[in-house]
Amino acid sequence: MIYISSKNNPVYKNISKLQFKSNKRKVSNSFIVESRQDISLCKDFGFEFIEIIVCSELISEQNMNYINNNFGNIIIHDFSQNLYQELIYKKKGDGLLALVKSKDNSLKNFKLSKKPFFLIAESPEKPGNIGALLRTADAAGLDGLIIADPKTELYNPNTIRSSLGSIFTMQIATGTTDEIINYLKNNNIKIYSTFIKGSRNYLNVDYNKSCAIVVGTESSPLSKSWFSKSDELITIPMKGKMDSLNLSVSAAIVIFEGLKQRNDN
């Protein structure tokens, strides 16, 4: 384990680019994870580790023992406190970072339960919204989250932080809207898409079947493909002046109604 204190060091430069440049993460199929908690989740849920970074000036003896006992075959670098603080988003870190390989999030790897129930989000733009949707999906015990026509890179640091670890625990797949609709039809999964107009009250829909809840962004409705191919168009009645809710709030309202129906039967 070599101590690194210079910003000109190639190891530091590479880690810094991966932390702050999305194109670097895409090209390398890797991303940075902060903290013992998230590193443990990555390990428990089958992510592949490339390198470990510690800050010997900050790391506790317990965390150092954890690294030595679990990542003995992985390259470990020791960054100075100044370099480490340049890399982390959290104000107070625990002296740990890891370079982790991205998973293959293609539809072919998405595993379905006997009676699937999962969430689909079309073109979410804000990493924080994706993180919040993952937390909702995890809390409800859904099969996972599928992102249609993604507009932001999945392992964005803001997504990781806002997901509170659920990005590592949940099944996630990405694909085009047409690919996902074909996948749903081929697997006999009902499509319940959220629209404001021309829709049924979400409370009057049967969620006991294999089904997927589809949500769009807060700024624009779902694309026409969902409108024409859905089994049900659903809406959440609102009594106020506004006609939209926060994306994760809307998803949670529908999902937990579906969960309630499933638990009652």
- Give the domain ranges of the chain: 3-101, 107-264
pLDDT at 243: 65
pTM, 2 dp: 0.93
pLDDT at 137: 97
Query: What share of the chain in percent tops pLDDT 90?
Result: 85
Q: What is the 3-state secondary structure (H, E, C) of 194-233?
A: ECCCCCEEHHHCCCCCCEEEEECCCCCCCCHHHHHHCCEE
> How many angstroms separate the CA atoms of 79 and 101, rounded?
20
Q: Residue range 227-236: average pLDDT?
A: 93
Same fold flag, 3-101 and 107-264: no
- Give the fold, CATH level 3, of 107-264: Alpha/beta knot (3.40.1280)
Tell me: pLDDT of 244 over 80. no
pLDDT at 103 over 70: yes
SS3 category, 259: helix
Report, as an integer, the average pLDDT of 223-243.
Answer: 87
> Is 3-101 a CATH 3.30.1330.30 domain?
yes
Structure tokens at 219: 């700024």
Residues 6+ apart with CB under 8 A from 12: 4, 6, 79, 83
Contact 60, 51 (CB under 8 A): no
Report d(CA 48, CA 149) in Å as an integer. 26
Question: Does residue 180 carry a pLDDT above 90?
Answer: yes
Q: What is the Cα–Cα distance from 43 to 21, expressed in whole angstroms?
A: 24
Give the Å distances, CA to CA, from 18 to 23, 146, 179. 8, 24, 29
What mean pLDDT comes out for the span 121-138? 94
Residue 16 clears pLDDT 90, i.e. is over it:
yes
Place of tokens 């390990």: 43
